[in-house]
Structure 1
Amino acid sequence: MKKIFRHTLSCAAVALALGLTGTASQAAGNEILLGASVQLTGPVANTGRYYNDAYKLAVDQINRKGGVTVNGKKYTLALKIYDNQSDVNLSVRQYTQLVSQDKVNFLLGPFASNFALADSAVSEKYQIPMVQGGGASDQIFARHFKYVFGTLAPASNYFSSTIKMFKQLKPQPTKVALLYADDSFDVSVANGTRPLLKASGADTVLDERYSSNASNFNTLLSQIKSKQADAVLVAGHETEILNFIRQAKSLDVSPKFYSFTVGVPSDDFRKALGKDAEYAFGMTAWLPSPTLKDDWFGDAAQFAKAWGAQYRYEPDYHAASGVADVEALVKAIEKANSLDPKAVRDALAASNFQSLYGHIKFADNGQIHLDQTVIQVQNGKPVAVFDGEKFLKQPQYPMPDWAKR
């Protein structure tokens, strides 16, 4: 049975209770309704919750700060969120319901590229703007859609800073294993990483795809060991990476360097592994710096503090990108001075503002570009070590053998 989550402040809650749903181009009373389908249960719910929590926190904060002004009239933001149960087909049906039956004004995205790839087709079909910070696959933005906008940097560039760092590590990694899941995000990561590795002069000794939600990596780990890879790059989702690391320890597969597209920035990931998370590298386009400012939270450090107080866990770039999605829509609505979907879509395309997540300026394909900072787990915390050009802090490298930790 699908679960529906509604979230507003009191006046908007009353409007929902009375059934005051508007059309896509005209808000009900003083309410602007945003809709989303996210993974609140199922295999990727641990990351999906970032978006649910981000949307709620952003809506609450924007409403507390006065809401949204259109043509001199004040509007309150409201949310309608469905639980897609980590089922992409259900997610598509729910987005269709959001626009065709629930009559939401605008859309926020799900987590994961394969979901965003499918769900954004609904946005395009009905010409309702969707801003999503959960899908980074290049495939999402290669279709020349006009109504989908993304706040994650291109997946094809995720390992760029990591590979640039190779040349400054001593000893320099020369034999690299590239592993990636078979979903659209991880395939895009792999497609972008191959030419970067080739240009770096590294020898790719293993290039293997595995099934999404894989639980057994023993065969791949044995190949890593037999081919004597000294660096391993893994594109996957958090549960897969947890399984990979646990089995690497069990088989004592200890290259000099591990890096993962997800996990390292996540508090839950590090808690799940404990000391076994040490030395793992990852990347992030966001850190809670006080230099990143916005109109509602103040700055990223204040946002992180508010997030921790509200949810009792630390935000990462998923959380920040989710908040930026809401902020981008509000900026566009006020810039357009209209609730007309096309006018807001055009304002989104012209976005150019600073958020607590970073600079929001969409390219012609609807995606933003943000540099990835290399991070490493050191003493249980993610530490920024390389910015794409120089070391910010000395990495702990090479990684010691499991048996010697």
Structure 2
Amino acid sequence: MLALGAQLSAASAEDVIRFGAPLPITGALAPEAVKQQQGYDLWAEQANKAGGISVGGKKYKVQIVYTDYQSNTPRAVQATEQMISQDNVNFMFGAFGSGAAKAASTVSEKYKVPTLAATASSSQVYDQGYKYLFGTFTPNDTLTTPLTKIIKTKVPDVKKVAILARNDLFPLAIAQEMEKSAKAEGYEVVYSEKYSIGTLDHSAALSQIKSLAPQWIFVTGYTNDLLLVRKQMVDQQMKAPVVTMIAGPAYQEFIDALGPAAENVSSAAWWHPAEQYDGKDIFGTTANFVKLFKAKYNSEPDYGQASAALCGALFQIAIEKAGSLDRDKVRDELAKLDVVTFFGPVKFGANGQINSLDPPVFQIQGGKPVVLFPQAIKQGDLKIGVN
């Protein structure tokens, strides 16, 4: 168990608000955990630099309690139970990804602890009728629908789509949404299969896809999965006019690891540093958040880091509006939030999932993600190369 009091002074226990953050610090999902922790830590640092969170005229410092659930969903559930019942956290950040977030939310709901999930987009996370779970990612179809419309407009010769998905809640869910979006636009889905968690050799699936000659190859998974798939596509000399991967290309690490093989890979995410919002949260403008992140980590933030920081900022707004650490009062303030943040406008639907954003679609061009949609932050047009 790691306890982090970001810039925490020797405040007494009653002057501290404790946030539980179960993360896959080791195991296959470790790269994603690093990003979550960076976002949480940046928010905690900024909140504490400003004197803490104001609760009824008194300032409370932020303390984040981390635990490593080793990329194992049952351990994420156990960690959440321990944080609430033994470590006395006031509020919870959700476990990483849709699958672990859904599983762990059963615990926080049981104890009536408000929980903000930074990386859970699948509608199956929010169909449980829970009152205390909120998520900062819009539903998966908000990524796949714009993607299919862009490809339909820009590359009308694309007719056949192949879909390969990690057998995990979020990747499978977004693959299912992609299949729906593709069929709605008249594409023929010639292949739609899943690969097991931990798969290292994708050659059989890729050979089958290659034999079907799709013009669009769509792959879902997490960073390490997608790096493997893309490298093995290159090894097999697989080429298609359109290659889309979700969610790895949003990360600079993906681009750095692949080099030229990342070029023209398209994707979609829930946030991009090109956005320009004037927020009412502790970060203020999008540009200020990006500046603070760069100063602390010497790199550009991506959607995972931004969403984690947003979760902290939203808790801060809700607690200050409630004027109390009473969990039910804070929960009620979260439920009725309607606020512009550095991340964009935030309003939660009745199921607790955010419904107020248009996630960006982008493509790797010249070693950088270039936004194609929405129009307000568009940086360039889709480039077609035989990937």
CA deviation digits over 1:237-261, x for unaligned, max 9? 1111101110100001101110011
Instruction: Check conservation: 1:113, 1:135, Cα contact below 8 A.
Output: yes
Equivalent residues in 2 for 1:6-405, closer than 5 Å: 6-11=4-9, 14-15=10-11, 28-289=13-274, 291-294=276-279, 295-369=281-355, 370-387=357-374, 392-397=379-384, 399-400=385-386
Change in CA separation of 1:389 and 1:168 when aligned onto 2, cut-off 3 Å: farther
Q: CA deviation at 1:375?
A: 0.7
- Which amino acid is the alignment partner of residue 189 of structure 1? I
Q: Is the 8 A contact 2:158 2:215 kept in 1?
A: yes
C-alpha distance in 2 between matches for 1:31 and 1:386: 41
| Structure 2 CA distance for aligned equivalents of residues 230 and 208 of structure 1 | 17
Instruction: Report how far residue 335 of structure 1 moved.
Output: 1.3
Show the counterpart of 1:25.
Answer: none
TM-score, normalised with respect to structure 1:
0.91
Instruction: Assess if the C-alpha contact under 8 Å between 1:155 and 1:186 holds in 2.
Output: no
Task: Tell me if structure 1 keeps the 8 A contact 2:267–2:362.
Answer: yes
Deviation at 1:63, TM superposition (A): 1.7
Q: Give the Cα separation in 2 of the matches to 1:105 and 1:215.
A: 40
Give the partner amino acid of 1:371: D
1:285 Cα deviation from its structure 2 partner: 2.1
Q: Identity percentage over the alignment?
A: 34
Displacement over 6 Å in runs of 4+: 388-391
| Contact 1:157/1:189 (8 A) holds in 2 | no
What runs of 5+ residues in structure 2 fail to find an aligned partner?
Answer: none
Q: Matches of 1:66 and 1:323 in 2, distance apart?
A: 17
Greater Cα shift, 154-163 or 328-337: 154-163
Alpha-carbon distance in 2 for matches of 1:241, 1:200: 25
CA deviations on 1:32-74 (whole Å, 9 max, x unpaired) are 1111111222111111111111111101101212321122112
Between the aligned partners of 2:364 and 2:220, the Cα distance in structure 1 is 17
Identify if the C-alpha distance between structure 1 residues 339 and 388 changes in structure 2 by more than 3 Å, giving closer, same or farther.
same
The amino acid that maps onto 2:371 is A
1:168, 1:392 → 2: CA distance?
Answer: 17
Matched letter for residue 394 of structure 1: D
Structure 1 gaps of 5+ residues are 21-27
- The superposition leaves residues 140-175 of structure 1 with CA deviations (integer Å, 9 ceiling, x where unpaired) of 101111111000111243211110112212343110
Q: Distance in 2 between matches of 1:159 and 1:213?
A: 25
Instruction: Verify the 8 A CA contact 2:371 2:377 in the aligned structure 1.
Output: no
Cα offset, 1:214, TM superposition: 1.8
Could you tell me how far 1:310 is from its partner in structure 2?
1.2
Check the 8 A contact 1:213/1:239 in 2, yes or no: no
Contact 2:284 2:341 in 1 (8 A): no
So what's the TM-score if we normalise by structure 2?
Answer: 0.95
1:355–1:390 CA distance, 2 compared to 1 (3 A): closer
Q: Distance in 2 between matches of 1:139 and 1:228?
A: 33
Partners of 1:228 and 1:153 lie apart in 2 by 32
SS across alignment from 2:227? helix
Partner Cα distance (2:156, 2:366) in 1: 23
User: Residues of 2 paired with 1:389 and 1:296: CA distance?
Assistant: 24
SS in 2 for 1:212: coil
Amino acid at match of 1:299: T
Instruction: State the superposition RMSD in angstroms.
Output: 1.8
> What amino acid is the match of 1:86?
S
CA distance in 1, matches of 2:375, 2:26: 36
Amino acid at match of 2:135: G
Distance 2:269 2:375 in 1: 12
Asked if the contact 1:161/1:388 (under 8 Å) is kept, the reply is no
Aligned to 1:272, what secondary structure does the other structure show?
helix
Native 8 Å contact 1:157 1:193 kept in 2 = no
